[in-house]
Amino acid sequence: METKEFSYQGFTMNGFAMLFFNLLLTVAGIAALVLFITYGNWQYIVACPLLLILSFFIWAGFIMLEPNEARVLTFFGKYRGTFTKTGYYWINPFMSTKKLSLRARNLDAEPIKVNDKTGNPIMIGLVLVWKLKDTYKAMFEIDAQTMAKDNVKADQITTGVAGMMKALEQFVQVQSDAALRQVAGQYAYDDTDDKNDDLTLRGGGNEINQQLEDKLDERLALAGIEVVEARINYLAYAPEIAAVMLRRQQAAAIITAREKIVEGAVSMVKMALDKLSTEGVVELDDDKKAAMVSNLMVVLCGDEGAQPVVNTGTLNH
């Protein structure tokens, strides 16, 4: 996306050199006042206020930046660039400066209730790592300065970084909720059919997180914010349906287990019949085979252990 941000190209000076020069002006102004009192020469009384006023004027031009900080400079309302040089500098005192942090920030959003694709209410939350990338958009594309008034005192708005970053955090919070609702509404929480291969919130993993990150990038690019990482960190059914869904999951697990048990029992019965027939242990007609199959299936598929019954047969004399 096109950016209007550019580096400040105006006059800058080493802050310590200008500080030394300004101290000399202050000393000179005080010396002029002393000379006027001593000798009464009107030239000294004229020089004194001029030197002191110039000194006070110079004090307004000092700025200091730490690593990963920036100052947006405006000259009577016109954007003149973004100053990002680390250190102590002096610039035109008529420049208005607004300080911003370029450091990475973390948002751990509280879980919100949304409806998934199938209409089930779920609780979903995210964790987001973001940082400011475009200072022009952050200052002038969204109304961050007005939002900052609620966070710091009015006389701190032009220089206080806390209010501006708090306003951006609120913007990120709102847009994150919107993106999370959009992504959650496109997918079901979990598969309702084992044969269904559609992507789900529970099974999507990296794919869902990537889509969430893309949606956040689209929304936050307006404010010049870059998404470093975004992922879902909480996912559960809403309390009102959690118990019902748990029973459904338990039922599905029981059905799956029964299918495995029946599949194994049929295999074992077939193997037993084939073994008896191959080795000629006993000759079984169809009725006896059916009875044997029934008994074996009951034993193998039953939840409780079978009680053996010994049949001694009939003795003929």
Q: What confidence score (pLDDT) does residue 317 get?
A: 42
The domain tally of the chain equals 3
Residue at 260 is within a domain:
yes
Does 109 share its domain with 232?
Answer: yes
pLDDT of 234 over the 80 cut: yes
Residue at 1 is within a domain:
no
Does 233 share its domain with 135?
Answer: yes
Can you name the residues that pair with 100 across neighbouring β-strands?
70
d(C-alpha 210, C-alpha 183), whole Å: 10
Q: Tens of pLDDT along 147-168?
A: 776 655 444 444 467 888 888 9
- pLDDT tier for residue 87 given thresholds of 50, 70 and 90: very high
The range of the structural domain enclosing residue 83 comes to 13-99
pLDDT of 178 over the 70 cut: yes
Does 119 share its domain with 150?
Answer: yes
Q: Which residue has the higher pLDDT, 217 or 239?
A: 217
CB atoms within 10 A of CB 280: 7
| 54-58, 66-70, 260-264, 285-289: least confidently modelled range | 285-289
pLDDT of 31 over the 80 cut: yes
Q: Average pLDDT of 243-258? A: 68
Residue at 129 is within a domain:
yes
Using the 8-state DSSP alphabet, how is residue 58 labeled?
H
Residue at 316 is within a domain:
no
Q: At which of 41, 72, 99 does a domain end?
A: 99
pLDDT of 126 over the 60 cut: yes
Q: Which residue has the higher pLDDT, 285 or 31?
A: 31
Residue at 7 is within a domain:
no
Q: Which residue has the higher pLDDT, 127 or 48?
A: 127
Does 74 share its domain with 176?
Answer: no
Token pair of 9 as six digits? 């190209």
d(C-alpha 108, C-alpha 126), whole Å: 6
Residue at 5 is within a domain:
no
Q: What confidence score (pLDDT) does residue 134 get?
A: 93
What is the residue whose two structure tokens read 């006027």?
36
pLDDT of 233 over the 60 cut: yes
Element (H, E) at 236: strand 225-237
Does 285 share its domain with 223?
Answer: no
Q: What is the pTM of this model?
A: 0.69
Q: At which of 99, 117, 134 does a domain end?
A: 99
**Contact between residue 212 and residue 183 where contact means Cβ atoms under 8 Å apart:** yes
Does 111 share its domain with 184?
Answer: yes
Residue at 133 is within a domain:
yes
d(C-alpha 103, C-alpha 117), whole Å: 37
Q: What confidence score (pLDDT) does residue 159 get?
A: 40
Helix (H, G, I), strand (E, B) or coil at 217: helix
Residue at 312 is within a domain:
no
Does 88 share its domain with 133?
Answer: no
Q: Tens of pLDDT along 38-84?
A: 776 667 677 778 888 888 889 999 999 999 999 999 999 899 999 99
Q: Average pLDDT of 228-249? A: 79
Does 193 share its domain with 277?
Answer: no
